[in-house]
């Protein structure tokens, strides 16, 4: 009897020591929480780019991956909680590299979705994010603390400082830098506050970008950019680490481009569609970025939402997550974007030039990656309001497959590559013994049918399994409000 009591106490202690930091608010979403968990008979896509392996067993112990092996030879200890996952696939937690916390409220004002977005990211299988531009960086930093302490559900966060923007911005929530000294001061101030990366924005001057990069690099932080006043090759010369969005925002091919200035037509889909990834100036840019170790972040969902009449398919789960106001704004925007009289007025014909430009972006990203470039994956919420946390990250992986990557390559880009860029690869980004147990349990086989990536059932973060459906349910009608 006493022996049994001791065993019981040890078990209780082990369970309690692992979950004691989780608040009741977080515990409400926990489906699996045991010191040892065995995911048996599951298909594993490990994130390295290797082919899917059938009938594997993954053992999680104290929040980490202990082993991955053939189910037949796996040594499942008696104390393990066993999940039989026949018919399921496990992939590493996604690493979302353009995963903001804000939502457009109209008239170029953005509201922080500090309640709904962290839940949706986690529910969608995203266990690590980079915020990639913050409009409320203090909120993002506090949110990160709350998530890390187990007080609120959400992904691990790399918080980006406030946008490094120059004069002339459209966004009233962005500080406009007054010169390179201000850029240096701003970077140092926000590094002191706890951010670990920065994003330069459209109107930043070359001097300011150079100063920001130098200040960030001095303290081990990285800088990405959604640029306009500076072309991609010039940004590479200034030492930038990453470029957001790809070709859509590279102004260096624009005939009106003047040094340090954003050209009138900052996005030129007709010109873009004419560029060739295999030869000429665009090909040279690809090679230049690869040589200079500049990454590119793919954000295809936001461009798909803006480029195609009728695409993407409006999903019920997205509409359900939106507040009534946000839902009607999205539906109105969708109707307007495919209105033929509006197309005629804007482009002089019935055909939008954007689908051809989107196709070119797919070609560019594929060519960049195949040339040895580090391609990262994000969603960029929210376009016209329909690209939202978690669901958009899954759509990004599907669109990478449309670009020509195999499903396993697309998953590699959305997991391993992001972790590598963030310096997290020793802890996450692949399924391997010794790493943190950040894993997504998916019904079906995304290695054959990438759309199965939408069938997330359980998301493990540090070995704790969260109920995806419950998280999604908890924010029904909240997106667009909080
Ligand atoms: Zn963005």
What tens digit of pLDDT does each residue of 248-287 get? 999 999 999 999 999 987 778 889 999 999 999 999 999 9
User: How far away, in angstroms, is 383 Cα from ligand 1 center?
Assistant: 9
Average pLDDT of the residues in 22-40 = 97
| pLDDT band per the 50, 70, 90 thresholds, residue 6 | low
Residue 279 is given by DSSP the state S
User: How far away, in angstroms, is 44 Cα from ligand 1 center?
Assistant: 32
Cα–Cα distance, 128 to 109 (Å, whole number): 26
Residue 106: CA atoms inside 13 Å, Cβ hemisphere, count? 10
User: How far away, in angstroms, is 132 Cα from ligand 1 center?
Assistant: 7
Tell me what the pLDDT averaged over the chain comes to.
Answer: 93
User: How far away, in angstroms, is 98 Cα from ligand 1 center?
Assistant: 6
| pLDDT band per the 50, 70, 90 thresholds, residue 309 | confident
- Asked if the model's pLDDT at residue 36 lies above 90, the reply is yes
Query: Which one is predicted more confidently, 258 or 9?
Result: 258
- Asked if the model's pLDDT at residue 15 lies above 50, the reply is no
What tens digit of pLDDT does each residue of 155-206 get? 999 999 999 999 988 889 999 999 999 999 999 999 999 999 999 999 999 9
Q: What pLDDT score does 314 carry?
A: 86
User: How far away, in angstroms, is 469 Cα from ligand 1 center?
Assistant: 26
User: How far away, in angstroms, is 246 Cα from ligand 1 center?
Assistant: 12
Contact 153, 466 (CB under 8 A): yes
For the chain, give percent helix, strand, coil, nearest 5: 40, 20, 40
| pLDDT band per the 50, 70, 90 thresholds, residue 1 | very low
User: How far away, in angstroms, is 180 Cα from ligand 1 center?
Assistant: 23
User: How far away, in angstroms, is 171 Cα from ligand 1 center?
Assistant: 13
Average pLDDT of the residues in 52-77 = 96
Q: What pLDDT score does 20 carry?
A: 54
- Asked if the model's pLDDT at residue 87 lies above 70, the reply is yes
- Asked if the model's pLDDT at residue 384 lies above 90, the reply is no
User: How far away, in angstroms, is 55 Cα from ligand 1 center?
Assistant: 39
Closest-CA residue to 395 (of 444, 446, 356, 324): 446
53 Cβ neighbours under 8 A, 6+ residues apart? 43, 44, 46
- Asked if the model's pLDDT at residue 8 lies above 60, the reply is no
| pLDDT band per the 50, 70, 90 thresholds, residue 424 | very high
Average pLDDT of the residues in 217-222 = 98
Rg (CA), the chain: 23
Angle at 393 between CA 285 and CA 125, to 5 degrees: 135
User: How far away, in angstroms, is 26 Cα from ligand 1 center?
Assistant: 28
Cβ burial, residue 322 (10 Å; 0-12/13-18/19+): buried
Q: Torsion-angle region of residue 405: left (phi > 0), alpha (psi -120 to 50) or beta?
A: beta
User: How far away, in angstroms, is 58 Cα from ligand 1 center?
Assistant: 36
The β-bridge partners of 53 are: 44
User: How far away, in angstroms, is 133 Cα from ligand 1 center?
Assistant: 7
User: How far away, in angstroms, is 359 Cα from ligand 1 center?
Assistant: 20
Cα–Cα distance, 458 to 123 (Å, whole number): 8
Closest-CA residue to 479 (of 329, 323, 333, 319): 323
Q: What sign has the CA pseudo-torsion 311, 316, 322, 327?
A: positive
Average pLDDT of the residues in 315-330 = 95
Q: Which residues of 399-432 are buried (b: 16+ CB within 10 A; e: fewer)?
A: bbbebebebbbbbbbbbbbbbbbbebbebbbbbe
Q: What pLDDT score does 3 carry?
A: 53
User: How far away, in angstroms, is 197 Cα from ligand 1 center?
Assistant: 14
Cβ burial, residue 197 (10 Å; 0-12/13-18/19+): buried
**Count of Cβ atoms closer than 10 Å to residue 378 Cβ:** 29
Q: What pLDDT score does 17 carry?
A: 43
Helix (H) or strand (E) holding 407: helix 407-412
| pLDDT band per the 50, 70, 90 thresholds, residue 433 | very high
Q: What pLDDT score does 14 carry?
A: 47
User: How far away, in angstroms, is 266 Cα from ligand 1 center?
Assistant: 16
User: How far away, in angstroms, is 382 Cα from ligand 1 center?
Assistant: 8
User: How far away, in angstroms, is 380 Cα from ligand 1 center?
Assistant: 5
Cα–Cα distance, 384 to 391 (Å, whole number): 15
User: How far away, in angstroms, is 129 Cα from ligand 1 center?
Assistant: 13
User: How far away, in angstroms, is 397 Cα from ligand 1 center?
Assistant: 17
Q: What pLDDT score does 335 carry?
A: 83
375 Cβ neighbours under 8 A, 6+ residues apart? 295, 296, 297, 298, 365, 368, 369, 413, 417
User: How far away, in angstroms, is 201 Cα from ligand 1 center?
Assistant: 10
Report how far apart the first and last C-alpha atoms of the chain are (Å, whole number): 52
- Asked if the model's pLDDT at residue 12 lies above 80, the reply is no
- Asked if the model's pLDDT at residue 346 lies above 90, the reply is no
User: How far away, in angstroms, is 4 Cα from ligand 1 center?
Assistant: 56
% of residues, the chain, pLDDT over 90: 84
Query: Which one is predicted more confidently, 115 or 344?
Result: 115
User: How far away, in angstroms, is 100 Cα from ligand 1 center?
Assistant: 7
Q: What sign has the CA pseudo-torsion 460, 466, 467, 472?
A: negative
User: How far away, in angstroms, is 353 Cα from ligand 1 center?
Assistant: 22
User: How far away, in angstroms, is 441 Cα from ligand 1 center?
Assistant: 28
| pLDDT band per the 50, 70, 90 thresholds, residue 38 | very high
Q: Which residues of 113-135 are buried (b: 16+ CB within 10 A; e: fewer)?
A: bbbbbbbbbbbbbbbbbbbbbbb
């Amino acid at each position: 009897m006493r022996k049994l009591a001791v065993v019981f106490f040890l078990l209780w202690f082990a369970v309690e020591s692992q979950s004691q930091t989780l608040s009741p608010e977080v515990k409400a979403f926990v489906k699996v929480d045991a010191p040892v968990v065995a995911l048996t008979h599951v298909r594993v896509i490990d994130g390295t780019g290797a082919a899917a392996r059938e009938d594997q067993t993954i053992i999680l112990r104290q929040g980490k991956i202990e082993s991955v092996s053939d189910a037949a030879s796996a040594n499942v200890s008696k104390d393990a909680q066993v999940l039989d996952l026949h018919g399921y696939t496990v992939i590493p937690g996604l690493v979302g590299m353009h995963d903001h916390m804000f939502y457009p409220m109209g008239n170029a004002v953005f509201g922080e979705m500090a309640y709904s977005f962290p839940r949706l990211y986690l529910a969608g299988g995203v266990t690590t994010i980079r915020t990639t531009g913050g409009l409320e960086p203090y909120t993002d930093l506090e949110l990160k603390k709350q998530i890390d302490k187990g007080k609120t559900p959400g992904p691990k966060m790399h918080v980006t400082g406030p946008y490094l923007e120059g004069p002339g911005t459209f966004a009233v929530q962005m500080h406009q830098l007054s010169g390179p000294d201000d850029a240096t001061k701003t970077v140092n101030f926000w590094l002191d506050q706890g951010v670990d990366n920065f994003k330069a924005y459209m109107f930043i001057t070359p001097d300011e970008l150079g100063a920001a990069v130098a200040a960030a690099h001095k303290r081990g932080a990285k800088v990405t950019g959604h640029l306009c006043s500076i072309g991609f090759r010039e940004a590479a010369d200034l030492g930038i680490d990453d470029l957001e969005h790809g070709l859509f925002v590279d102004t260096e091919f624009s005939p009106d481009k003047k040094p340090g200035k954003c050209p009138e037509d900052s996005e030129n889909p007709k010109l873009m569609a004419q560029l060739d990834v295999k030869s000429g100036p665009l090909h040279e840019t690809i090679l230049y970025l690869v040589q200079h170790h500049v990454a590119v972040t793919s954000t295809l969902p936001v461009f798909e939402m803006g480029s195609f009449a009728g695409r993407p398919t409006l999903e019920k789960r997205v509409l359900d997550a939106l507040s009534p106001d946000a839902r009607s704004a999205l539906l109105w925007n969708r109707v307007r974007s495919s209105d033929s009289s509006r197309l005629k007025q804007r482009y002089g014909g019935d055909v939008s030039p954007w689908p051809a430009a989107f196709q070119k972006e797919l070609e560019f990203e594929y060519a960049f990656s195949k040339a040895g470039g580090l391609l990262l994956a994000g969603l960029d919420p929210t376009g016209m309001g329909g690209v939202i946390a978690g669901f958009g990250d899954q759509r990004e992986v599907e669109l990478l497959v449309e670009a020509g990557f195999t499903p396993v390559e697309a998953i590699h880009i959305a997991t391993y590559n992001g972790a590598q860029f963030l310096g997290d690869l020793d802890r996450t980004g692949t399924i391997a013994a010794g790493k943190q147990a950040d894993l997504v349990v998916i019904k079906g086989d995304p290695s054959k049918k990438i759309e199965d990536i939408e069938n997330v059932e359980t998301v493990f973060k540090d070995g704790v399994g969260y109920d995806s459906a419950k998280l999604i349910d908890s924010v029904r009608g909240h997106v667009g409000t909080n």
